Amino acid sequence: MSRMSLSFLPLACVLLASCSTSTPDSQGPPNVIVIFADDMGYTDLSSYGAKDWSTPSLDQMANEGARFTNFYVPTPACSPSRAALLTG
């Protein structure tokens, strides 16, 4: 082989390696549900240990998804906390 054809060999290998037929993940973005309630305590949902309230739909979502155990709000009132959550 000539030197010219040998110099194109690495380039050809890189180009062939970059052509792949694999498809990206067909999984879409995750579904995120934020429940923001005023004056709701940690144990007001039965999935977090409430005995007085039955919340079967929220319990199902908690069992099938992620449950957060440490959460805080920037202010004790609802409006500024909601604004902080929605605007970042």
Q: Which two tokens stand for residue 9?
A: 């060999």
Q: Which ranges constitute the DSSP H helices of the chain?
A: 3-18, 56-64, 78-87
Q: Has residue 1 got a pLDDT over 60?
A: no
Q: Which two tokens stand for residue 71?
A: 């959460």
Question: Domain limits of the chain?
Answer: 32-88
Q: For the segment 32-80, what is each residue's pLDDT rounded down to a tens digit? A: 888 877 777 777 888 888 888 888 888 898 888 888 777 777 777 778 8
Q: Full-prediction pTM beyond 0.75? A: no
